[in-house]
Structure 1
Amino acid sequence: MQLRALLLDLDGTLVDTAPDMVGALNRLLDAHQRPACDLSAASKLVSNGARALIEFGFPDIQNEREQQALIEQFLSTYQQHVCVDSALYDGMHDVLSYCESNDIKWGVITNKPLHLAKDVMAGLGLLERCAVLLGGDSLPVKKPDPVPMLHACMLLSVAPSECLYIGDHERDVQAGNAAGMDTGAAAWGYLPHSVNLEDWNPTCIFSTPASLDEYMTGRGNT
């Protein structure tokens, strides 16, 4: 079936947001007189959100109330620097341009809070270009629940079987598969070294955005 929509995760798939997210964590650590964390190590946790970063940076803080306070401080700090060093992954510009030149709608479904996702997209000049943007708080449930995927299909007036969803976390593939979409695992994302992407059961594994572009060129014309 012809590809009519490309849907993407945000952090670690469409945009490399780790420099700004880990930067916000390091600003928070500095404010609490703690040493900065390593960008490479912390980047592996970005797709798991604010709580995972706080648990990494403040491993000795186990109290839920204290953790939540740190999460709120982190989100406030991050919002002030949400799109300073974040950037599209190399090759993603070509993917989006292909979509726009071939009547393929593209959009983002992320578990990131919607207002932060909008700030990232706007900062990169993508907000007005995307056909749909759903955040983790846009609906009562979020990935790995398939509801956001199905809701996006409804908004775009496409069938799930006409969509390809790409993400760098197992929950992305789980949500897309459950919705009846083709799915792709983004091997360039924030992946633990030990992960085996085949275990997620994606339709395809993409090593780079360029390989995604090649796949879409073939799929879009079938």
Structure 2
Amino acid sequence: MPLPPQARAVLLDLDGTLLDTAPDLIGALNTLRGEHGKTPLPEGHLQPVVSHGSAAMVQRGFDLAPDTAGFEALRQRFLALYRARVSQATRAFPGMDELIDLLDERGIPWGVVTNKPGWLTEPLLADLGYAPRAACIVSGDTLAARKPDPGPILLACKRLALAPCDCVLVGDAERDIEAGRRAGALTLAALFGYICGEDHVRRWGADGIISHPEEILRWLDPELLGQIPRQPEWAATGS
């Protein structure tokens, strides 16, 4: 099997790639439903839209179109409830912390490029200890345009002082892959995120499809990784 192209930095989407934010987003949505006399919805009904923003969450949770009267008030209340618990139950996906530890150990820069607004992104990453470790953080309101526009990816590459072709963008939504491709970066679709049966991942045009964070290592320059002294436990167990 030929070796994949070799990147010198990793750019991660946030929701559904770096972090499993579903518990707090779904918790906030069900709290909002409770305020309106509605019973909680099961996680499986809401998780497919977790990566698609607050409007998608409210639309799925209340079966309302965004142009419905009162929709924006519901969305704003949902965001307030979510901010109050932004890092309560959110954790990294299995294997992601070990990957980041290795990147930090090898001096390989990594960053976050998300459509989540900065007023949610920054406290979340700070609460969980990722903010001081990330080489760059580009939020959904850092620029006027968001993914799938390539602008956020290009800005992240600029902040890393690397060409887009030297970076690999990892995401769990088609807009992530489109943004990365339009920017000229390598792209990986993360199956461990919030991809559902409605998604046609192989049609997205990603350079690769991965099922575990450890697989990102195959796309990094081996000279940067160096000789890994021991096989990580998460790679050995396949957890």
CA distance in 2, matches of 1:59, 1:194: 18
Per the alignment, residue 33 of structure 1 pairs with 37
Per the alignment, residue 47 of structure 2 pairs with 43
Query: 1:1-222 counterparts in 2 under 5 A?
Result: 2-60=6-64, 63-216=67-220, 218=222, 220=224
Q: Deviations over 1:91-116 (max 9, x none)?
A: 00121112112221101000011110
User: Which deviates more, 93-102 or 142-151?
Assistant: 93-102
Q: 8 Å contact 1:25–1:57 — kept in the other structure?
A: yes
RMSD between superposed Cα atoms in Å: 1.8
Alpha-carbon distance, 1:4 to partner: 2.0
Q: 8 Å contact 1:10–1:109 — kept in the other structure?
A: yes
Structure 1 portions without partners, runs of 5+: none
**Amino acid of the structure 2 residue aligned with 1:67:** F
Q: Deviations over 1:111-132 (max 9, x none)?
A: 0111101121112111111011
Alpha-carbon distance, 1:219 to partner: 8.0
Q: Deviations over 1:136-192 (max 9, x none)?
A: 111010000001111111111111011000000000000000000000000011112
CA distance in 2, matches of 1:63, 1:202: 33
How many residue pairs get matched?
222
**Amino acid of the structure 2 residue aligned with 1:179:** A
TM-score, normalised relative to structure 2: 0.88
CA distance in 1, matches of 2:29, 2:133: 30
Alpha-carbon distance, 1:210 to partner: 2.4
CA distance in 1, matches of 2:199, 2:6: 31
CA distance in 2, matches of 1:73, 1:24: 9
CA distance in 2, matches of 1:120, 1:219: 33
CA distance in 1, matches of 2:217, 2:66: 44
Structure 2 portions without partners, runs of 5+: 227-239
Q: Which secondary structure state, in structure 2, belongs to the residue aligned with residue 107 of structure 1? A: strand
**Amino acid of the structure 2 residue aligned with 1:55:** Q
Alpha-carbon distance, 1:220 to partner: 4.4
Q: 1:182 to 1:220 in 2, by over 3 A?
A: farther
Alpha-carbon distance, 1:215 to partner: 4.2
TM-score, normalised relative to structure 1: 0.94
**Amino acid of the structure 1 residue aligned with 2:70:** E
**Amino acid of the structure 1 residue aligned with 2:175:** R
Per the alignment, residue 229 of structure 2 pairs with none
Q: Which secondary structure state, in structure 1, belongs to the residue aligned with residue 98 of structure 2? A: helix
CA distance in 1, matches of 2:102, 2:125: 18
User: Which deviates more, 60-69 or 110-119?
Assistant: 60-69
User: Which deviates more, 94-103 or 79-88?
Assistant: 94-103
